[in-house]
Amino acid sequence: MIVTRFAPSPTGYLHIGGLRTALYSYLWAKKNGGKFLLRIEDTDLKRNSLEATKAIEEAFKWVGLKQDGKIYYQSKRMDIYKEHIQKLLDEKKAYYCYMSKDELDTLRAEQMKAKQRPRYDGRYRDFKGTPPSGIEPVVRIKTPINETITFSDGIKGKISVKTDEVMDDFIIARSDGTPTYNFVVAIDDHYMGITDIIRGDDHLSNTPKQIVVYKAFGWDLPKFYHVPMILNPQGKKLSKRDGAMDVMEYKKEGYLPEVLLNFLVRLGWSHGDQEIFTLDEMLELFDPKDINKSASAYNAQKLLWLNSEYIKNMSYERFEKELIDFDLDLKSIEKKEILIDALRERAKTLKEFSSKAKAILQRPTSYEEKAVKKFLKAGAKEVAKEFKSYLNSYKEDLDIPFEYEKLINGFLKQHNLKLKDIAQIIRIAIVGSAVSPSIYDIMSIIGKDELKIRIDNLIQFMEERDEQK
Ligand code: GLU
């Protein structure tokens, strides 16, 4: 059975790079009927916060990636780590090192001077004497000397490193007894039964160290997949400005969770030139061996495009549900389906949808200056007044957009006018600007009574304006 995990450190929010490796791990486990586990790497109590842990869990919930079983917290597993440190000490695979900080600094300085790579020289590796007093020792693991560590990375291919070149007897427990990062990761991945580790390639250099730990305990290695980073369009590290923001910011900006997943699955993986993937399709098609070997570039326009594609096809019920978070309650809106259909092609995000919908549903409190100048010239007030009286005496049904179209056609005919003579006046009256969906749609959405009020308000505005002249 394939078991994967996502192992964020709660030092801040969950960012999209993290979510992408989580998604890959999720897909790979689930497509194989395996398990996807979540482990919070919260041992660094100075840098971790409960809030950040909560934020990660919240983001997970929003995108709908559910872990199997309970969440693991490293902070609750200290006993396991300590027990394993002791085990290595007992088996002489690890040892206490009494080197003081001064000694370490001196050694470093000498190595730098000799143009050598700074590394611990193993002076306590086989120490048999009496330990110096007054020093709380650290515990170091015995890294095999002069050995080549080889593993096959599912994305990068075969990786070989010489132990002497990339590591020393690294610390597994600090002098206060707390275990170090690479040690606990290996312990956890083993006991959680992780078979496939998919993570960012910024962790590639940690892997040999973790393998040293696996080997010290005689455990089988998992399979590793190190995923290249997401870069900005200039090929630099992704910054907040480029989009490396909190996953929940995307929610606030009006992106759908499945869009974000769709966007992320394609950042670093592809299936022909297909762009739109449902979760089921991702599950069917995803394989980590197809992950790109080179870094991928974040493309904000594509994310926006994807979101608009999803919005175009979204159900009415879903709109109603999602828009509540954007301060728009469609429940009581009689013509909500007309409203949604009028805007779904015009709004790329839920946020944009909400603001465009409010512009229709709420009476304008002002009129856009540019539109007023351009479209409410001499004669507009008279046309608006004529329209008002035509509307007041109109006897036919006014409900669906088609009926408003009939109303307008009748009015134009009677007064020998063209559509352009009235369309922008109606737009400005209803939304306050000259940009809106079809006038028949927006009249139908607000209804006859509200239409009269808004026409009246605009007439009054023009009266006041003309008096001031
Ligand atoms: N906690 C690490 C991080 O947030 C991930 C460790 C791993 O995946 O092995 O970058």
* End-to-end CA, the chain: 81
Q: Measured from the CB, is residue 179 less than 6 Å from ligand 1?
A: no
Residues 365, 456: contact at Cβ < 8 Å? Answer: no
Asked whether the predicted pLDDT for residue 48 surpasses 80, the reply is no
Output the CA 304–ligand 1 centroid distance in Å.
29
Q: Measured from the CB, is residue 203 less than 6 Å from ligand 1?
A: yes
Task: Look at residue 52 in the predicted model and tell me its pLDDT.
Answer: 83
Q: Which residue blocks in 192-246 are alpha helix, DSSP H?
A: 207-217
Q: What residue ranges define each of the domains in the chain, with the CATH number in brackets?
A: 1-67+228-313 (3.40.50.620), 78-181 (3.90.800.10), 316-468 (1.10.10.350)
Query: Average of pLDDT values for 261-287?
Result: 96
Q: Measured from the CB, is residue 77 less than 6 Å from ligand 1?
A: no
Max CA distance (Å), the chain: 111
Instruction: Say what the alpha-carbon torsion angle 260, 262, 263, 265 is, to the nearest 10 degrees.
Output: 120
Task: Look at residue 263 in the predicted model and tell me its pLDDT.
Answer: 97
Q: Measured from the CB, is residue 188 less than 6 Å from ligand 1?
A: no
Task: Look at residue 239 in the predicted model and tell me its pLDDT.
Answer: 82
Mutate to test the pocket of ligand 1, among 43, 183, 185, 227 (most ligand atoms within 8 A of CB): 185
State pLDDT tens for residues 147-165. 999 999 999 999 999 999 8
Asked whether the predicted pLDDT for residue 399 surpasses 80, the reply is yes
Signed CA dihedral, 136, 142, 145, 150: sign only: negative
Task: Look at residue 404 in the predicted model and tell me its pLDDT.
Answer: 98
Query: Average of pLDDT values for 389-397?
Result: 97
Q: Measured from the CB, is residue 15 less than 6 Å from ligand 1?
A: no
Q: Measured from the CB, is residue 228 less than 6 Å from ligand 1?
A: no
The pair phi, psi for residue 48, each rounded to 5°, is: -95, 150
Asked whether the predicted pLDDT for residue 45 surpasses 90, the reply is no
Q: Which helix (H) or strand (E) holds 184?
A: helix 181-191
Minimum-distance ligand 1 atom for the alpha carbon of 11: 4
State pLDDT tens for residues 325-375. 999 999 999 999 999 999 999 999 999 999 999 999 999 999 999 999 999
Contacts of 234 (CB under 8 A, 6+ apart): none
Task: Look at residue 70 in the predicted model and tell me its pLDDT.
Answer: 95
- Residue whose CA is closest, atom 2 of ligand 1? 8
Residues 444, 400: contact at Cβ < 8 Å? Answer: yes
Task: Look at residue 403 in the predicted model and tell me its pLDDT.
Answer: 98
Output the CA 184–ligand 1 centroid distance in Å.
11
Query: Average of pLDDT values for 113-123?
Result: 92
State pLDDT tens for residues 409-446. 999 999 999 999 999 999 999 999 999 999 999 999 99
State pLDDT tens for residues 55-91. 888 999 999 999 999 999 999 999 999 999 999 999 9
Task: Look at residue 175 in the predicted model and tell me its pLDDT.
Answer: 94
Cβ atoms < 10 Å from Cβ of 420: 9
Q: pTM of the prediction? A: 0.92
Q: Measured from the CB, is residue 3 less than 6 Å from ligand 1?
A: no
Task: Look at residue 237 in the predicted model and tell me its pLDDT.
Answer: 87
Task: Look at residue 30 in the predicted model and tell me its pLDDT.
Answer: 97
Share of residues in the chain with pLDDT > 90 (%): 88
Query: Average of pLDDT values for 256-276?
Result: 96
- Cβ burial of 259 (10 Å; 0-12, 13-18, 19+) is buried
Output the CA 291–ligand 1 centroid distance in Å.
19
- Residue whose CA is closest, atom 10 of ligand 1? 8
- Mean pLDDT of all residues in the chain? 95
Task: Name which of 32-41, 112-121, 396-405 the model is least confident about.
Answer: 112-121
Task: Look at residue 11 in the predicted model and tell me its pLDDT.
Answer: 81
